[in-house]
């Protein structure tokens, strides 16, 4: 018979070897998880600090004479933002222009093909003709403020828009306040209407319907990374780092609670934020004057560039229909 020492050696040595293998595997898994976590944090930081176009055009070359460079505070925090207020005589009506991700107060489409742009000064002239002042400003992390604060794709940007609304009210030109937004700016505008009674209408060009759902389905467009495991990790870290409450960036839900008139504009060839996103929002309309206008061949925020006359007609028709 084997003695006890030999018996223990024969059975325990293989077990010890197995335990070492398990430890190595567990350590490898832990290192992989830590690497993925660190990489997802890097992606969130990079994603939230886009390269932003920062233009300083000659405003008077557009035939615009009555304007001023102003600063104001974002609502509920100490971030100071910059904008240009373009006055229209003694008008008490103002349209606030909200740019998209990576854009600036003067130009939308900085991340799209070079030919597809929205010149916000040219756009402003449409509203001037209709009797409105216009207010152009940079969201945090954009334009004059590129890289200073994290971009949250419509969460903290709502505070910037609400700060702009308060600024317009303080100037005595906010009897009627409308907002026109593009892409991220469009979703921000729609997401803000349940947080103030001072926005009377919204024109939203190429919005997403719900931030979390949109990012979950389209993260690859923005990062080029596979959905698993990066989508859940990036969504979680975006929330942890910036405190993003995804429920507050949900145009489809917020529009369903609002009775203000809304004009949606979307290109059917949009692959960045698909046209179906606006179709979802359209189903939430509560105002009979709200409508969705589609442009058959335009890409992301490309409708104004591709169909300038039709686009202007759509804007004028909407403004005249709501008669504010």
Pairing of strands 262-267, 291-295: parallel
Check: CB of residue 135 under 8 Å from CB of residue 97: yes
pLDDT for 112 equals: 58
Smallest CA-to-CA distance from 158 within 245, 45, 87 is with 245
Q: Is the peptide bond before 96 cis (omega within 30 degrees of 0)?
A: no
- Residues 228-250, buried b or exposed e (16+ Cβ, 10 A)? eebbebbbebbbeebebebebbb
pLDDT for 155 equals: 97
pLDDT for 288 equals: 96
Smallest CA-to-CA distance from 185 within 122, 136, 130 is with 136
pLDDT for 178 equals: 98
pLDDT for 39 equals: 92
What are phi and psi for residue 130, nearest 5 degrees?
A: -90, 10
Smallest CA-to-CA distance from 145 within 73, 81, 56 is with 81
Q: What's the distance, Cα to Cα, between the start and end of the chain in Å?
A: 102
pLDDT for 228 equals: 86
pLDDT of the chain along its 324 residues, tens only? 456 666 555 655 665 566 677 777 777 888 888 898 999 999 999 999 998 777 889 999 999 999 999 999 999 888 999 999 999 999 999 999 999 999 999 998 855 555 678 999 999 999 999 999 999 999 999 987 776 789 999 999 999 999 999 999 999 999 999 999 999 999 999 999 999 999 999 999 999 999 999 999 988 887 888 888 899 999 999 999 999 999 999 999 999 999 999 999 999 999 999 999 999 999 999 999 999 999 999 999 999 999 999 999 999 999 999 975
Measured CA distances, 68 to 33, 83, 85, 164, 209 (Å): 52, 8, 5, 15, 34
- Count CA atoms within 13 Å of residue 101 on its CB side: 24
């Amino acid at each position: 018979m084997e003695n006890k020492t030999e018996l223990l050696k024969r059975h325990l040595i293989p077990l010890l070897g197995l335990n070492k293998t398990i430890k190595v595997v567990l350590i490898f898994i832990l290192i992989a998880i830590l690497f993925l976590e660190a990489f997802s944090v890097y992606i969130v930081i990079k994603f939230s600090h886009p390269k932003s176009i920062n233009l300083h055009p000659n405003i008077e070359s557009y035939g615009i004479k009555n304007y001023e460079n102003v600063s104001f505070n974002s609502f509920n925090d100490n971030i100071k933002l910059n904008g240009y207020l373009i006055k229209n005589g003694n008008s008490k009506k103002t349209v606030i222009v909200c740019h998209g991700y990576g854009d600036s107060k003067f130009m939308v489409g900085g991340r799209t093909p070079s030919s597809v742009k929205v010149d916000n000064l040219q756009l402003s002239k449409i509203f001037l003709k209709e009797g409105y002042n216009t207010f152009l400003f940079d969201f945090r992390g954009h334009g004059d403020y590129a890289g200073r604060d994290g971009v949250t794709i419509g969460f903290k940007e709502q505070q910037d828009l609400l700060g702009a609304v308060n600024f317009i009210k303080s100037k005595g030109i906010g009897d009627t306040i409308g907002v026109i937004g593009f892409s991220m700016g469009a979703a921000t505008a729609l997401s803000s209407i349940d947080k103030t009674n001072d926005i009377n209408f919204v024109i939203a060009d190429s919005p997403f319907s719900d931030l979390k759902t949109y990012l979950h389905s389209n993260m690859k467009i923005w990062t080029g990374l596979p959905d698993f495991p990066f989508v859940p990790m990036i969504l979680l870290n975006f929330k942890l780092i910036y405190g993003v409450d995804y429920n507050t960036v949900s145009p489809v839900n917020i529009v369903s609670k609002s009775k203000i008139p809304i004009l949606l504009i979307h290109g059917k060839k949009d692959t960045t934020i698909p046209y179906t996103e606006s179709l979802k929002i359209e189903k939430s309309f509560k105002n009979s004057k709200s409508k969705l206008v589609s442009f058959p061949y335009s890409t992301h925020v490309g409708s104004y560039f591709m169909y300038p006359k039709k686009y202007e007609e759509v804007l004028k028709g909407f403004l005249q229909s709501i008669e504010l």
